[in-house]
Amino acid sequence: MITWKRTLRTLSSERFIAYKDGREAAMVDLHFLGLGLRMPVSGTVVLLESSGWREEDVPDLLSSLDEEFLPEVDAAEGTLTYTVVMGRLIASYEAMADGGGEEEE
């Protein structure tokens, strides 16, 4: 079962993490491209290789996010599009006041 956690929200974008069996399995960045209820939304999905995703799993993953967080848009109506990539998490970095970065584990 997939559970979702919203980790970032601005006026024009959101970021979600998908958890599968209690572990991070995917990340989704959504960008709202206009104003109003039926504004188009474009998303980038990163599936983590270590989570064992198969291409046939993707529609159910996207559908679960759509149903829970995006009731006003629909891929079938052309108001929701995704780019999906597979990758592995290398590290997370946080900007520092001195301009450097520090790795988070």
**Model-level pTM greater than 0.85?**
no
Task: Give the CA distances from residue 54 to residues 32, 63, 69, in Å, rounded to whole numbers and listed in that order.
Answer: 27, 15, 23
Give domain limits for the chain. 2-104
Pairing outcome for strands 2-9 and 13-20: antiparallel
Predicted confidence at residue 96, as pLDDT, reads 80
User: Which residue's structure tokens are 């970065």?
Assistant: 101
**What is the residue type of 48?**
L
* pLDDT value of residue 103: 57
Written as tens digits, the pLDDT of the chain (105 aa) is 899 999 999 989 999 999 999 999 999 999 998 776 668 899 999 999 999 999 999 999 998 998 888 888 877 788 889 999 999 989 888 888 776 655 555
